[in-house]
């Protein structure tokens, strides 16, 4: 009789100097082979409230500096906030395009160029508007001895997901940053159709 393979597994950690400061990077893998990382900064005691950001991979925004979305802006802002606070964790989840993958995201971009919004484009391709899962976040936070968090997000669904996993979210901190002419309609769609919370004056 073989033992059941764990759904998620911690792999290893290492030093990660960045232009924002020196972090530690921690690797995790799902049974499917999908890999994720967490970046930690500073120290805390178990039970302390730790500022965190859950960030889904966005190659176009994070690495290629696209302004079609606010992802790259928010990644930079979250890292800056963590360093300014002196402690924190960024969970970087490999679920591109709200879970549809990079090439399908490019297909969705093509549909958006023709007039669809981000939700309509995903659904036209046969996907739900948002396929992301946050289940691995609990293992990542447990590994880093984080049980109580202050969550940097504009998406209340992330807060609900963490609480359903048993993580105590004591506060949600907005991370409004990077509003451009190229992404204003995208952000408005996320507000109206996906439940994200932004300051209404941003869309005037």
58 and 122 assigned to the same domain: no
- pLDDT at res. 189: 75
* 50 in any annotated domain: yes
What is the chain's mean pLDDT, rounded?
A: 90
Tell me how many degrees the CA angle 23-59-10 measures, rounded to the nearest 5.
Answer: 45
Whether residue 85 is annotated as binding a ligand: the answer is no
Structural domain tally of the chain? Answer: 2
Segment 120-132 shows an average pLDDT of 93
* 198 in any annotated domain: no
pLDDT: which is higher, 134 or 188: 134
- pLDDT at res. 13: 98
68, 70, 117, 132: the active-site residue: 132
* 109 in any annotated domain: yes
62, 70, 117, 130: the active-site residue: 130
Whether residue 114 is annotated as binding a ligand: the answer is no
Whether residue 71 is annotated as binding a ligand: the answer is yes
Whether residue 58 is annotated as binding a ligand: the answer is yes
111 and 144 assigned to the same domain: no
Segment 4-23 shows an average pLDDT of 90
What does the radius of gyration of the chain's CA atoms come to, in whole angstroms? 17
Check if 130 is active-site: yes
pLDDT digits over 137-189, tens only? Answer: 999 999 999 999 999 999 888 999 999 999 999 999 988 777 878 877 777 77
Domain end point (choices 131, 155, 180): 131
Q: How far is Cα 198 from Cα 203, in angstroms, rounded to an integer?
A: 9
57 and 13 assigned to the same domain: yes
75 and 108 assigned to the same domain: no
**Of 1-5, 28-32, 188-192, minimum mean pLDDT range:** 1-5
pLDDT: which is higher, 179 or 95: 95
CB 172 within 8 A of CB 156: yes
**Is residue 26 scored above 60 in pLDDT?**
yes
- pLDDT at res. 81: 96
Q: Which domain holds residue 114?
A: 97-131
* 3 in any annotated domain: no
- Candidates 101, 106, 14, 24; CA nearest to 68 is 106
74 and 171 assigned to the same domain: yes
Q: Could you tell me the CA-to-CA distances from 80 to 20, 130, 149, 179, 183 in Å, in that order?
A: 6, 27, 17, 17, 22
Whether residue 137 is annotated as binding a ligand: the answer is no
Check if 182 is active-site: no
pLDDT band at 204 (very low <50, low <70, confident <90, very high): low
Whether residue 118 is annotated as binding a ligand: the answer is yes
Tokens 């393979």 locate to: 5
- pLDDT at res. 1: 43
pTM: 0.90
85 and 145 assigned to the same domain: yes
């Amino acid at each position: 009789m073989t033992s059941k393979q764990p759904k998620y597994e911690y792999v290893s950690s290492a030093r990660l100097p960045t232009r924002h400061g020196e972090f530690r990077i921690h690797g995790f893998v799902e049974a499917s082979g999908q890999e994720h990382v967490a970046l930690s900064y500073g120290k805390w005691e178990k039970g302390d409230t730790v500022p965190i950001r859950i960030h889904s991979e966005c190659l176009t925004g994070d690495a290629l500096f696209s302004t079609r979305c606010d992802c790259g802006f928010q990644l930079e802002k979250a890292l800056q906030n963590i360093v300014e606070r002196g402690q924190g964790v960024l969970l970087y989840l490999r679920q591109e395009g709200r879970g549809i993958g990079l090439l399908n995201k490019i297909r969705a971009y093509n549909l958006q160029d023709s007039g669809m919004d981000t939700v309509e484009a995903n659904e036209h391709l046969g996907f739900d508007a948002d396929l992301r899962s946050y289940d691995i976040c609990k293992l990542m936070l447990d590994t880093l001895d984080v049980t109580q968090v202050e969550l940097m997000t504009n998406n209340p669904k992330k807060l609900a997901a963490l609480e359903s996993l048993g993580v105590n979210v004591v506060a949600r901190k907005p991370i409004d940053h990077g509003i451009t002419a190229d992404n204003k309609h995208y952000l408005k769609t996320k507000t109206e159709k996906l439940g994200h919370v932004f300051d209404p004056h941003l869309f005037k």
